[in-house]
Amino acid sequence: MSVSELKYTQGPSAEQWESHRETITQLYHKMSLKDLSDFMKRHHSFNASKRMYDSRFRRWQVFKTKQAVRQPVTHGSPNPPKARKSRVTKSRGPEKRYRQTGQLLPKSTITDNSYRSSLPEHHFAPSKRTTRNGRCVSCQRTNSSSPSSDIETTWSHTTALNRNADRVDSIGTPVMKEEPLTPTDGQSVRAHHTHVRESFSSHSPTAEHFPGYGYMGSSDSRPISLIGSTTSCGPFSNLICVSQVVDQAGGLPPQIATPRELQQLNIILGSIHQFYSHEFSKQDDIQSHYTTAASRPFWFDINTGIYLLKYAASKPLCTKTPSRAFAAIQSACANASKALSSIPFDFPLQLLLRLSPFNTRICLPLRANILSFLSSMASTTLAPMHPLAALCTALAADDHSLELSARAFTYMASLLGSHRICSVPTVRHRLSSAQAKWSRREGNVTKAVVQARDVVALASVDFGPYDEKTRAAASELVHAYMAAGQYTHALHECQRVIRCPGPGSRRDEAAGGDVVSGEVEYFTDGIAAHGMEDVAELYEKMGDSGEGIVWLKRAVGIALRVWGQAPTTMHILDKLVDALREDGRSEDARTWEKVGLLEAK
């Protein structure tokens, strides 16, 4: 038996199981065990048999459905506590009214467990009532700490979520208070950002420890200004939209079973709903502000930083890459205020796509820091209760839940796809491209390839074969092919990304739009630079390092003209220098290193 076969037979160590525990648990609820095993083997080099997975799931008490999850036995009882239905008795005289956040509510409104379980204890303070003999009696509700009350509270939360999955509005949509999130007099934005960042470092499972929770106990609602118009204070005042949100998101998944997770889901989906409800009114102007000049460099730098960190994780010897990555992140943070103030239509889409736990799994602490920073900037730049501020705050406090991010993205895609605004070619194209990219990052490579092909075909019709949007879609198809291991198809598709027709050339649509005659030239923009970088990587994977070096040189030349001394350019230059040294061409490597030093001066 070979060493590799022996290693596979023994299986992963206990430390490896624990390090991948969260990823395995999250993915187990989303895919079959076979797909999970293939995904972990392909992306994490984690080889384990079905028997090993079954044994580990039993040890972790992880099951496929929520109903199968075993509840811990409490208070020494040999059996789990049984759920009792709460009794609602008829009272004589006028209906008792309870005071909640300054408003009197009938008793019948709050006796429902689903409503009561979502509110703090101090919300239930009965108002004074007069008895038949004229005495005034003040009924106070006491907080019991007995074991029975703990069991009752736990049961009411759980049954409310199980029973009311289709009407989440009754569980209690958070409503924001009047308290400002912006720094008070004498406080700096930096101090406020530090406070927000420290708040997210807490590991407490309660919702009181994330920024913005203090605004969720009042029924007060004041209008705020959103891009020159007036609307209610964000997603928290609209109870109807939350039930619609969960319905369109496919209902509550078994994994979202706690009140805090449900509250986070409500805030995230409600913020998306409120933001796009306002943006839908500007359909005629959507082409001009779908993405803005201030937003493009911000997301470009964010994407570059995350990509470089992922590249550094796969190439530990590339010591310069992490510093390049954080330089890109720092550049993005410098442009955050301008990007937010321009309020581009695609900001929530980019937020969920670029900063999803799927895309940032190797740098999750950085994800939380970026989201908390964006939350602070949105509160000070836009408004404390702006939907984008609420969305960033909720995402930063989602404990990097893959399920919450997937639900949010699915709902947003459903919201945009079902609206007539999706008839705008730009919106339709961006949404379809995002869905293909999401499928690839989620690990569903086959679906990603099919989606990316459709996006390229539709973009060629809507924008033309040479348009930047079509070429960007072709670049995503290249990445999908590479993830699927179809290097020949990927190399063929790269020609659509980098080649432009020269004098006397023509394209043969029957051959997929390739240039079949005449002089061939290359585009000289950023898309072409990344495309040539992909060509070099493909040749390297196919064993032709010499041809890969040729394409890296072309990519560096274009990158220097387009981006100058940006982290992206320096990264491509680093790849070229490393490739030359691995090929034994040390003199050429030193020459290209001098090019980088000259650019730095």
If pLDDT is split at 50, 70 and 90, which confidence band does 518 have?
Answer: low
Model pLDDT, residue 23: 82
Model pLDDT, residue 241: 35
One-letter amino acid of 334: A
For residue range 379-389, list pLDDT tens digits in order.
Answer: 998 888 899 99
Structural tokens at position 411: 């709902």
One-letter amino acid of 329: I
Mean pLDDT confidence for 447-466: 93
If pLDDT is split at 50, 70 and 90, which confidence band does 505 have?
Answer: low
One-letter amino acid of 79: N
Output the pTM of the full model.
0.58
pLDDT at 74 over 70: no
Residues 6+ apart with CB under 8 A from 570: 320, 324, 596
Q: Which residue has the higher pLDDT, 277 or 117?
A: 277
Cα dist from 305 to 259, 334, 539, whole Å = 34, 14, 25
- Sketch the domain layout of the chain as residue ranges: 3-68, 172-420
Q: What percent of the chain has pLDDT over 90?
A: 32
Write out the H or E segment, with its range, that includes residue 560.
helix 545-562
Least confident of 3-12, 28-37, 475-484, 499-508: 3-12
Mean pLDDT confidence for 520-545: 93
For residue range 50-62, list pLDDT tens digits in order.
Answer: 888 888 888 888 8
Long-range contacts of 502-507 (CB under 8 A, 24+ apart): 507/465
Q: In whole angstroms, what is the distance from residue 420 CA to residue 423 CA?
A: 6
